[in-house]
Structure 1
């Protein structure tokens, strides 16, 4: 298994996922929908959308790290979210309220600033200082793809529930989904040493992100052993990763 996406692949996935989300919002967005409860407890659809702007803004505030700074791994960076959950929720609600008059435009502006900052930081893979510590630029970009993919899926389920139909289009970009699935599996493999591959990327990402309850049968649908003589290990103590 590869050790991680490079900057070029991560940037491409981030662009693709953002573009897919932006087109989707034009298709399904409306003012009434913003107030509907999302599938994340305590968050509205509008707050979930505002959070995407905050997630992209994390790229905008990246600066060059001091020489010799030891970068966090993707596992370490994603693992730092839990400690800041209350702050993330509070900031998200404040942003949603501030941006209520033009929520799509506000996140558009965050996206433009984020991609402009990426152009300034690249094209190499330097260590950058992010909100939660020093990371490789590639790791930081991948973490943003994780945010956009996971929350695009949250938005899909939220809007389908609000409309009472499964016909709402899917905002998750297949290539970005696959990158996230592979990156999250790489975290698991690095910790346990198993030889696994992704069988169902959507199910695996939902399990790894804690969006569906852990179940060994669901896991067996999401991941397969690379060799038929092996079995999928019980990952109940390791999941969710987010």
Structure 2
């Protein structure tokens, strides 16, 4: 079942609230780790935290479009990420330098402004102009949930000594379902998610593609079918 705008917005708020509490609870653990490499190649832990603010700021930057504008699909929007990876990294590093003195306060400020902007857009706008092109507001919000879930998982793995989890299970399930929907729309298969965290990691390139891992992450809906080889389709972003 596809989440509507209200459900996606609720998932975004829940995931952000959990992640914000998690970050705030780290205290010296985060202070000691900000300059250390994260699991995201080429990024420090501090840069990964700062990128959360950049991800939420995308909602602040969203604006109205001309009537009749054709939006990108969620798959098309996410597909623009790889070609802009270096630009995203450069902008994030500059932001991290700017807010390093009080990183968490700054990131929380970005999130507050993002939710305020979302409240402004929700009653009137169906399609919005985002940084990467026009997109439905619903898909824009889903893309923010994907950002928060994926990077919360990145942060968990970057700080393995922290027992508390940063990823909200409901938001994780939504992200797993949305990424699967992209795949089945392209291929026409009937699949379900068995291990949402493993599937999200495979779909976003966090875990190297492996057919055995894929078979643990997904399952066919019909016993006569099998999980297809998605090696040429993944990662999705």
- TM bracket (short chain): over 0.9
Distance 1:171 1:159 in 2: 11
| Partner residue in 1 for 2:23 | 25
1: CA distance, partners of 2:12 / 2:124: 16
C-alpha displacement of 1:123: 3.4
Q: Is residue 183 from structure 1 mapped to residue 139 from structure 2 by the alignment? A: no
- Tell me what 2:98 maps to: 98
Contact 1:127 1:134 in 2 (8 A): yes
Once residues 163 and 154 of structure 2 are traced to their aligned partners in structure 1, the CA distance between those partners, rounded to angstroms, is 13
For the 8 Å contact 2:64–2:125, the answer to whether it is kept is: no
> 1:5-52, CA deviations, whole angstroms, 9 ceiling, x for partnerless residues?
211010000001100100101122432211111001111000000001
Distance 1:77 1:6 in 2: 18
| Equivalences for residues 132-211 of structure 1 within 5 A | 132-160=132-160, 165=161, 167-211=162-206
1:125 Cα deviation (Å)?
A: 5.6
Question: For residues 80-105 of structure 1, what are the alpha-carbon distances to aligned partners after superposition, in whole Å with 9 as ceiling and x for unaligned?
Answer: 11111111000000111110110000
Partner of 2:119: 119
Post-superposition Cα deviations, 1:166-207, rounded to whole Å, max 9, x if no partner, equal x53110000000000000000000000000000000000000
After TM superposition, the structure 1 = structure 2 runs for residues 56-95 of structure 1, keeping only pairs within 5 Å, are 56-95=56-95
Task: Report if the CA contact (8 A) 1:7-1:123 is conserved.
Answer: no
Pairwise CA distance, 1:124: 5.7
Structural RMSD (CA): 1.0
Please name the residue that 2:225 is paired with: 230
Mean alpha-carbon deviation: is it higher for 27-36 or for 96-105?
Answer: 27-36
TM-score if structure 2 supplies the norm length? 0.97
Any gaps of 5 or more consecutive residues in structure 2?
Answer: none
Alignment length (residue pairs): 235
CA distance in 1, matches of 2:42, 2:180: 29
Measure, in 2, the Cα distance between the counterparts of 1:68 and 1:220.
42
CA separation in 2, counterparts of 1:76 and 1:147?
Answer: 15
Report the 3-state secondary structure (helix = DSSP H, G, I; strand = E; otherwise coil) of the residue aligned with 2:192.
strand
Deviations 1:104-140 (A, max 9, x none): 0000110000000000001366110000000000000
Give the TM-score taking structure 1 as reference length: 0.95
